Amino acid sequence: MGLGGGGGFLLLGSLLEMGADGSRASLQFARSGILGKGCSSQKWGNFLRKAVEKAGPPAKMGNVPSVRPRICCPRLRQPGSCKYRQRRSSVHASSVRAEFARLVETSMRELISNYEAELSRLYALQDHISPDPYLHAHSRNSAVIRRQVSIFERCQNAFKDANTILDWGCRHRADACLIRMLRGNDVELHGCDVDPPQYRAFYDFAKLKYLQLTHPYRLPYDDNSFDAVIGGGVLEHVPIDSESLKELYRVVRPGGQLIVTMLPNKYSYTEWLNRILHNPHHLRRYSLAEVHHMFMHHGFLPIHFGYHQILPTLSSPSKGVFDLPVANKVVERLFYLNTFFEKLWPINRLSTNIFIVGRKVEAFHG
């Protein structure tokens, strides 16, 4: 069984669209989001060809485990029987199709879900459109981008069954883009912030419905509007965090989830160094116990929380040492150690950020 020429890859595209389990995969997202909206069939075919090469050759007839069909009539069990050959061939063909679809779909998921590479592409594209100091600070090295991806991956289960999601205080919509990569077109994305729409590259990719906020904490949405709300690096900047949490409780549906990430840790050594060195730093910081308490007192039952990022990533908007190539190479090489240190007590208590995921409840019962 082989794939030759463009026709074969058009067939492969059809296989992928339906997937091995009969559900529609996010192929449309892959074609428009990763290769561009106007990509040709030839370019798409080349992309699929690489996916197949990465997955390896499809299963051959001889490699598929033989499944002897259960046939009551002794005459039909004989290998020479025509009906036996038809049944055996049918079983083999079905197994091949399922295995082939599984291999290719797995490869496609690996390519499509390469969050770091896709975010890097979006940052580069936006920098080409309109350079921005804020975006430069959040993409000056791969460690900064990995930081965004790593915390998203730790919380992504909250988005897998959500149909409507709000990116609260979305700024350049990095979280919304990651959700789009994860869910494709199966989710309705909304975003809000105090600034007018900007960062066109991220906006077009995320395809969210954006509203500009005009009130310190009130949100322009109906009650129980969203299955999930994510706020990455937002709560520490709002004027009245308790009022904002009340509003978030109002717009989240019962049983829905609130995901708050990138909260500055009260005991962070990097925050302490930035204050000592008079670098930009956060005026409001939280401990994990405080955030846990706030969630409980605003109707959200904490279900997942922890420490995030021990080693620095040089994400400050300052220049000088933050832009030194050697310093950026060092933090890139050391970033993988974060996974270990985030679980190591008491070092993890000094992390840069904390995160928490809470489920909206209508009453607390023991």
Q: What is the percent of the chain where pLDDT is above 70?
A: 69
Check pLDDT > 90 for residue 51. no
The pLDDT tens digits of the residues spanning 14-50 come to 434 444 333 333 444 444 444 444 454 455 455 555 5
Q: How many Å apart are CA 168 and CA 231, to the nearest integer? A: 5
Domain 115-360 sits in which CATH superfamily?
Vaccinia Virus protein VP39 (3.40.50.150)
Residue 336 has pLDDT above 60, yes or no: yes
Domain boundaries, the chain: 26-112, 115-360
Q: Is the pLDDT of residue 5 over 60?
A: no
Tens digits of per-residue pLDDT, 230-244?
Answer: 999 999 999 999 999
Which of the four pLDDT bands, split at 50, 70 and 90, describes residue 130? very high
Q: Is this model's pTM higher than 0.85 or not?
A: no
Query: What mean pLDDT is reported for the chain?
Result: 80
